[in-house]
Amino acid sequence: MQSYTIGQAARLLGVSPDTARRWADAGRVATHRDESGRRLIDGRDLAAFSVEVAQAGPGEGEVPYTSARNAFPGIVTAVKLGDVAAQVEIQAGPHRLVSLLTREAVEELGLEVGMRATARVKSTSVHIDRT
């Protein structure tokens, strides 16, 4: 299973490394140390935590000013395989993206919960919100 450093986890969660470190220090997400003493987060734990953080929404006083780009780097939080088709969910910071693709594509990419992946979106209609 892939593990992530605090910095990598912070980028995937869309927060600063200091915020990710505080969450780890508070026990909100489990960490372990590698042979060189770096703190790591197991991919499955990070996937579950990323969903929890996203469902909580922005904190009080946090105003998101965004124009989402077409590439969403994140972490795979679910893979549902059918006989021919598959459904893959990616949590990219506060964004949950769901893609329907072939089972063959999922197997070729080796997608599984806890690994990094980037969702790329092509759209003919883009909406921009300033909150």
User: What pLDDT, on the 0 to 100 scale, is given for residue 131?
Assistant: 66
Q: HSE-up of 71 (CA within 13 Å, CB side)?
A: 4
pTM equals 0.61
Q: At what angle do helices 43-56 and 6-13 cross, to 10 degrees?
A: 40
- CA-nearest of 8, 34, 10 to 20 is 10
* 53-71 residue pLDDT tens: 887 766 655 545 545 457 8
pLDDT tens-digit profile of 62-111?
A: 545 545 457 888 999 999 999 999 999 999 988 999 999 999 999 999 99
**Token output for 65:** 């000013």
